[in-house]
Amino acid sequence: MSTAGHGAAVRIEACGKTFADGTRALDPATLDIARGETLVLLGPSGCGKTTMLRIIAGLELPDAGGKVLFDGKDMTSVPIERRNVGMVFQSYALFPNMTVADNIAYGLKIRGVARDEQAARVAELVALTNIIGLENRRIDQLSGGQRQRVALARAVAIRPGILLLDEPLTALDAALRDRLRSELNRLLRALGITTIYVTHDQAEAMELGDRIVVMRKGAIAQIGAPREVYFAPKDRFVAEFIGAANIVEAPIENGMLILPGGRLPIEGAATTANVTVMIRPETIRVTNAGTEALSGVVDSISFIGDRQRIVVSGASSKPLNVDAPNTIQAKVGDRVGLSIAADALRLLPSEP
Amino acid sequence: MSQKSFVWLCLLPLAVVTTAFFLLPMARLVVAGAEGPHGLAGYLAILTEGRYRATLFNTVLLAAATTVVTLIVATIAGMFLQRHRFPGRTVLIAMLTFPLAFPGVVVGFMIILLAGRQGLIGDLSNRIFGEKFVFAYSIYGLFLGYLYFSIPRVILTIMAAVQKLDVGLEEAARSLGASPWAVQRDVVLPALAPAFVASGAIAFATAMGAFGTAFTLATNIDVLPMLIYTEFTLAANFATSAALSVGLGLITWLILALARTFSGSAVAAAG
Ligand SMILES: Nc1ncnc2c1ncn2[C@@H]1O[C@H](COP(=O)(O)OP(=O)(O)OP(=O)(O)O)[C@@H](O)[C@H]1O
Ligand SMILES: [Mg+2]
């Protein structure tokens, strides 16, 4: 469709942010976002995601020395109204004094686009975002999901070079959020706009992001593709923030991790006094006791539906969480064997 | 006792007070207005008699001008005061809202100090141009006094409304390419419309009926409350002053009702 492929490449250079009251919201960070890429900023509340987004948008000025470049052009001092960015706010920020159609057409009206062209574009976007028939409604006559779609349609109507979304799905209930997430994913791929998406929901980040920037306390903890940050987290924070993780501290002897419940072969380390290892719950297989080198006792079982979460104690210094298929028959108090592939054990740098 | 009769019982004192001190005098006023030599036609005098009509016209014009200028000044000042933090801000707000407690007489007195025969403006202009500008005793002085009177009231309402504005809306408009002017026109002013209507109505009605300032400045300024006063005390013309009073109330109410319907759609749309 006509909207495709007008994204801009973004570069943030040494952008930090200290607010007037002295709050250090963002440490100087450098980040490159390719044309057409969807980049997700992920992190806990207060880690500076919105601040970074607002710096890119032009709603916030980076501290001295910071630079924002679009397609290599320095935009640092260009105000937001001349940056050609589409923004979707967490609260949607739809204009209450305008209809749905007027909201969507607002950016076009401001640009002096001819009326019939505005109408055609509105029709196109209304179809694209599945809100046909709502054009003449007022905003307070829309449901949350419909508002979200209008906000998105309004933001992409101006054919922005960059689309910025700040937790656009957080205000919706879980079921709607899941549906809109895949819808949004399809749309972003179809539009091909460079997209920066802020969320604190790791499932959202995984599904939507070409790359994920994991942030922590105003700093970038790790940048990588979803699989990369999931399987090869750089540190304990990333490991625990993305997905569930067992963090085990134990010594290594001759390539074997020495645990209270047995020993496991581990890659890439010789004898070390104490290492930190991450094991994802779904990489542990529950078997009969005695068949495996590692064993423990079932502490608790919670049935989740598509799988069950079994907590096994005695195998390592802390109880291990195991995601097992829902067909496994185990009871609390059973002694079970645990099989873990060597490459599922992920060495993490030990925290100071 | 049922819930309903309990509510009625609670309303009883209010009903008694309203009847005794509000409805009865009002009814008496309406009756008195028709007790003149011309009977009911006395009511039409406010429109038919040239002198009365001119006064009515003057008063409406003065009140309308006061309302418009007050809204403009108070909106700009209120927006600025609410959105910016600077040293001395609280002092400035206190000074701006200080006249809230002043009666019209004090405001009139201050206008005389400013633009009267011994006033500040006269002194200054005398030194600079060799001529004394004195306008305290005219309708311009009254206009200035009414501004002084209504700005504090309106500014407080506007500041409260500005505080409730969603900054996200303005940022959204800017992200879509709107210039600062367009943001004001398309987002801020529509959102403030209810506050304009509410505070504008109070400013208008106050200016229509204010008396103290006019009385302090001069007894021959042509506004309705002054006219009523002269008819009542000097000419002892009870029927005419009653008819004029009822007329003043009706016309003010009518203009406000019109303004409300006129801006009603805008307000409804602004939510
Ligand atoms: N205008 C401001 N003045 C002072 N401090 C601010 C301001 N805006 C944000 N902060 C602070 O900067 C830090 C980062 O805020 P930011 O809004 O970027 O977090 P976030 O990652 O978006 O969090 P959330 O997920 O809760 O939205 C926070 O500690 C916040 O309190
Ligand atoms: Mg945020």
Query: Which pLDDT tens digits describe chain A residue by residue (352 residues)?
Result: 334 456 899 999 999 999 999 999 999 999 999 999 999 999 999 999 999 999 999 999 999 999 999 999 999 999 999 999 999 998 899 999 999 999 999 999 999 999 999 999 999 999 988 899 999 999 999 998 899 999 999 999 999 999 999 998 887 888 888 888 888 888 888 888 999 999 998 889 999 999 999 999 999 999 999 999 999 999 999 999 998 899 999 998 888 888 998 888 888 767 778 889 999 999 999 988 777 788 899 999 999 888 899 999 988 889 999 999 988 888 898 899 999 988 888 888 876 5
Assess A154–B contact: CB distance below 8 Å, yes or no.
Answer: yes
Within chain A, residue ranges assigned H as helices are 49-57, 100-110, 115-128, 144-157, 174-191, 202-208, 226-231, 236-241
Residue A54 CA: nearest ligand 1 atom is: 18
Report the alpha-carbon distance of residue A80 to residue A109 in Å, rounded. 17
Report the alpha-carbon distance of residue B69 to residue B143 in Å, rounded. 10
The three-class DSSP label of residue B258 is helix
- pLDDT for the residue B1: 61
pLDDT tens figures, B185-198: 999 999 998 899 88
Tokens representing B200?
């504008």
DSSP state of A36: T
Residues having CB within 6 Å of any atom of ligand 1? A 19, 21, 23, 25, 43, 45-51, 200
Contact flag B177-A89 (C-beta cutoff 8 Å): no
Give the minimum alpha-carbon distance from A95 to chain B in angstroms, rounded to a whole number: 7
Look up tokens 């969807």; give the residue. A38
The three-class DSSP label of residue B223 is coil
DSSP state of B233: I
With the most atoms of ligand 1 within 8 angstroms of its CB, the residue from A49, A53, A60, A213 to mutate is A49
Contact flag A80-B173 (C-beta cutoff 8 Å): no
Buried b (16+ CB within 10 A) or exposed e, B245-266: bbbbbebbeebbeebeeebeee
Report the alpha-carbon distance of residue A327 to residue A307 in Å, rounded. 8
- pLDDT for the residue B268: 46
Tokens representing A229?
């940050």
| pLDDT range class, residue B269, cuts 50, 70, 90 | very low
Closest partner residue to B176 among A79, A138, A158, by Cβ? Answer: A158
pLDDT tens figures, B82-128: 888 889 899 988 888 888 888 888 888 888 888 888 888 888 888 88
Q: Are A315 and A294 in contact (CB under 8 A)?
A: yes
Give the minimum alpha-carbon distance from B87 to chain A in angstroms, rounded to a whole number: 15
Q: What domains does chain A contain, in order, with CATH numbers?
A: 10-240 (3.40.50.300), 246-348 (2.40.50.140)
Q: A-chain residues within 8 Å CB-CB of B189? A: none
User: Bridge partners of A163?
Assistant: A86, A195
Q: Are A15 and A7 in contact (CB under 8 A)?
A: no
Q: B-chain residues within 8 Å CB-CB of A139? A: 271
Q: What is chain B's percent helix, strand, coil content, to nearest 5?
A: 85, 0, 15
**CATH code 1.10.3720.10 region(s) in chain B:** 46-270
Assess A81–B contact: CB distance below 8 Å, yes or no.
Answer: yes
Q: Dihedral sign, CA of B152, B158, B161, B162? A: negative
Q: What one-letter code names the amino acid at B99? A: P
Q: Are A235 and A348 in contact (CB under 8 A)?
A: yes
Assess A91–B contact: CB distance below 8 Å, yes or no.
Answer: yes
Assess A57–B contact: CB distance below 8 Å, yes or no.
Answer: yes
Residue A182: exposure state from Cβ atoms within 10 A (0-12, 13-18, ≥19)? exposed
Q: Are A41 and A58 in contact (CB under 8 A)?
A: no
The Å distance, Cα A221 to ligand 2 centre, comes to: 17
Report the alpha-carbon distance of residue B154 to residue B71 in Å, rounded. 7
User: Considering only CA atoms, which of B96, B78, B269, B268 is closest in space to residue B163?
Assistant: B78
**Integer-rounded Cα radius of gyration of chain A:** 24
With the most atoms of ligand 1 within 8 angstroms of its CB, the residue from A47, A53, A198 to mutate is A47
Closest partner residue to A57 among B175, B190, B266, by Cβ? Answer: B175
Looking at domain B46-270, what is its CATH homologous superfamily?
MetI-like (1.10.3720.10)
Residue A307: exposure state from Cβ atoms within 10 A (0-12, 13-18, ≥19)? middle
List Cα–Cα distances, B90 to B81, B82, B87, B160, in angstroms: 9, 11, 8, 15
List Cα–Cα distances, A168 to A171, A196, B170, B186, in angstroms: 7, 11, 18, 24
